[in-house]
Amino acid sequence: MDVVAAENVGKDYAAGKVTVRALEGVSFRIAAGSFVSFVGPSGSGKTTLLNLIGCLDRPTRGTLSVAGTDVARLDRRRGALFRGQNIGFIFQDFNLIPVLTVYENVEYPLVMVRGVDIKDRRDKVTKLIEEVGIGAERNKYPDQLSGGQKQRVAVARALVTSPGLVLADEPTANLDSRTAAMIIGLMKKMRDNLGTTFIFSTHDMRIVDTAEVIHTLQDGKLTSTVKTNAKKKGEQNAEAG
Amino acid sequence: MLKLVKISLRNLFRYKRRTLLTMSLITIGVAFVLVFVSVTASFKAMMVGEITDSMLGHIQIHRKGYVASIDNLPLNLNLNPRSWHKVEQVLTDMPEVEAYSPRIKFGGVFSNFIESTNIRLNAVDPEKELATVPLLASRFRSANNTIRQGEILVPELLAKGMNVEVGDVAVVVATNEDGSVNGYQFTVGGIVRSVTGPGGRDGYIHIEDGRQILRLEEPEISEVAIRLKKLDALESVEGRLQETLGREKNPKGKPAFEIHTWKKLTPFFNVVRMIDIMTFFIKLMLIAIVLISVMNVMIMAVYERTREIGTIAAIGTLPGRILSMFVIEGLSLGLLGAVSGTVLGSLAIVIMNAFKIRFNFGRAEGLILNASLNPVDILTIGLIVVAVAVLAGFRPAFQASRLEPIEALRHI
């Protein structure tokens, strides 16, 4: 079953009086439980496409279905509800809430978005932060963590609501190569454990080949789609981490 | 909800210096307003007490038209026995009335056999008068603090000017309603300290002496002064008196009585009103302080946390939750400022009272300022501060909740 289905998706931006065509005629399908990357140079449209898949923006043209829902039809409130139910986000700059501890950051979507009761929250958050390897840091604040630890928290936060899809925009851009490999390995391990679909964008050639499906974007157009045999490598990285 | 409050409070104290500065501003504002309100309330209470309890009473009843001519003390506008009886009946049936005192007011000539001068006199029943205006006794400089038949209590300025002392003999000459002139010899029973306000420089004699000097065959009176058990009931009692006595007509079909509260009888009510207006403007200043300072903090908070707002919106936080988060921050700022301001204000009042600040009002000297905080004032000012803080925080909070996540995430 496809988690994401895009058909001739296009996106235009107005930059002053000029209209910028950020995406044009992009079509693809992403199967549930896959580990997919969008690669391409800066300005190729990776972030724009991830924003569309994440219902943070709406396509100008074409149809885009996420988890069986036409996301172009969602208004602000329903978009928020949809994201809260179906999508987890991992950001390049981690985007943790600085006034919350590691535990509270991971717990946040369960409290503020899902309204899960305290016992279920405790069980789920504790299990997840142990799984991503930050159990010892549970009471620390983001400014007391390294970049790798912050991104682990972000991975746990993205997964805590058990979404069908996790979107990661340049998740390793602010990490050194060893930590980047660990984070990608962790994401893959979580995909294997939970069956969550991971889509990440990157222009970092060190991690591109960790994806099982690589979509390449160039000047807003999808130029190639390649299936790799990266599963084994990802497992090895996770073990190393 | 508790989590929301917890996050809001943590966010509030994330920028400690800014939050504490703003809170200090609100605290000082609240404390200042509370001190001002309590001091002015105390001053007002003493001023009103001095006026009503020394001379005026809380309410006065006259025959219609008397107050307009009160400077002449017109005897032809006295209440006749039937009217007086009616007034007595009504007042006896009112549980809010603590005491009332009938007075005969007239003007005459006072002579110590060497020189003479004009005098305004109140002929009163001492027991009723002292129950109605309890501070009157404190104005007497005499041995027995009452008004006996055959004695006159002379206003202090007149006594000083004419070298009259307690025990001297004096004569009062007055013209009655029929135009006949009558003289009556008194012993000076005491000197009356003057007070500020109408009737504050009048002399006193016994009501029976007043009737004799004016040769009143029937018990006519010029005015009835009323004291209430609680001053708060002033307007309601006045309203009921207007309903009962105000409807009474004279034989010509015109209103028989006029009823006035102390507010309408003394120009000092304007001073009270001015104090109220000043208090109102001080409260307005507090509102401005809270509004501007909280709004400033909240606008800055939204600006500085735009990316964070984008993040929480992206992960599915509903706009209403984001709005609540910022509104709670504004509310907390106002609440903390109001509470600490109340504590500081109360402390300032306790210290001020310990110093026993004295002031003069008119001829009353050495009155001690006894400021106290009224729970209604605390509640009102607290509510104003909190409501204004919420209002000030609402606009930036609304702006935060309306941010597009994608735009917010791009914010640097």
DSSP notation for B33-94:
HHHHHHHHHHHHHHHHHHHIIIII-SEEEEETTTGGGGGG--GGGPBPHHHHHHHHHHHHT-
- Cβ–Cβ below 8 Å for A80 and B307: no
Both B195 and B243 in one domain: the answer is yes
- The upper half-sphere exposure of residue A45, i.e. CA atoms within 13 Å in the direction of its Cβ, equals 25
Could you tell me how far CA B231 lies from the centroid of its own chain? 9
Distance from CA of A85 to the nearest CA of B (A): 8
Both B305 and B344 in one domain: the answer is yes
Distance from CA of B325 to the nearest CA of A (A): 11
Sort out which chain B residues have CB atoms less than 8 A from A156's CB and list them: none
Sort out which chain A residues have CB atoms less than 8 A from B308's CB and list them: 95, 97-98
- The upper half-sphere exposure of residue A101, i.e. CA atoms within 13 Å in the direction of its Cβ, equals 14
Distance from CA of B360 to the nearest CA of A (A): 57
Both B145 and B223 in one domain: the answer is yes
* Nearest-Cα residue of chain A relative to residue B10: A99
Instruction: Classify residue B405: in a domain, yes or no.
Output: yes
- Does the global pTM surpass 0.90? no
Both B90 and B18 in one domain: the answer is no
Q: Give the end of a domain, one of B226, B255, B284.
A: B255
pLDDT, one tens digit for every residue, chain B (412 residues) = 788 898 888 988 888 898 999 999 999 999 999 999 888 888 888 888 888 888 889 999 999 988 888 888 888 888 989 889 999 999 999 999 999 999 999 999 999 889 999 999 999 999 999 999 998 888 888 767 788 899 999 998 899 899 998 889 999 999 888 888 999 999 998 998 887 666 667 899 999 999 999 988 888 899 999 999 998 899 999 999 998 887 888 778 888 899 999 988 888 888 888 888 998 898 888 888 888 888 888 888 888 888 889 999 998 888 899 999 999 999 999 999 999 999 999 999 999 888 877 777 665 666 777 788 888 889 998 999 899 889 988 888 998 888 888 888 887 7
- Cβ–Cβ below 8 Å for A76 and B10: no
Task: Select from B308, B318, B409 the Cβ nearest to the Cβ of A80.
Answer: B318
Instruction: Classify residue B265: in a domain, yes or no.
Output: no
Domain span at B378 = 2-51+270-410
Task: Select from B307, B317, B318 the Cβ nearest to the Cβ of A95.
Answer: B307
Instruction: Classify residue B23: in a domain, yes or no.
Output: yes
Instruction: Classify residue B57: in a domain, yes or no.
Output: no
Task: Select from A56, A112, A158 the Cβ nearest to the Cβ of B317.
Answer: A112
Both B150 and B295 in one domain: the answer is no
Both B215 and B277 in one domain: the answer is no
DSSP state of A145: S
Q: List strand residue ranges (DSSP E) for B240-286, in order.
A: 257-261
**ipTM for the assembly:** 0.86
Both B403 and B351 in one domain: the answer is yes
Both B217 and B86 in one domain: the answer is yes
Q: Give the end of a domain, one of B201, B224, B255.
A: B255
Number of continuous H segments (helices) and E segments (strands) in chain B: 14, 12
Instruction: Classify residue B58: in a domain, yes or no.
Output: no
- Cβ–Cβ below 8 Å for A112 and B10: no
- Per this entry, what is the length of chain A? 241
Both B97 and B236 in one domain: the answer is yes
Q: Does A99 touch chain B (CB under 8 A)?
A: yes
Number of folded domains in chain B? 2
* Nearest-Cα residue of chain B relative to residue A118: B3
Q: Give the end of a domain, one of B190, B225, B255.
A: B255
Which residue is listed with tokens 């007075």? B103
CA angle A225, A231, A235 (to 5 degrees): 145
Cβ–Cβ under 8 Å, residues A101 and A140:
yes
Tell me the domains of chain A and their CATH numbers.
2-95+164-240 (3.40.50.300)
Instruction: Classify residue B260: in a domain, yes or no.
Output: no
Both B193 and B281 in one domain: the answer is no
Instruction: Classify residue B88: in a domain, yes or no.
Output: yes
Instruction: Classify residue B264: in a domain, yes or no.
Output: no
Both B84 and B160 in one domain: the answer is yes
Both B45 and B96 in one domain: the answer is no
Cβ–Cβ under 8 Å, residues B346 and B33:
no
Sort out which chain A residues have CB atoms less than 8 A from B16's CB and list them: none
In angstroms, the CA A148 to CA A176 distance is 9
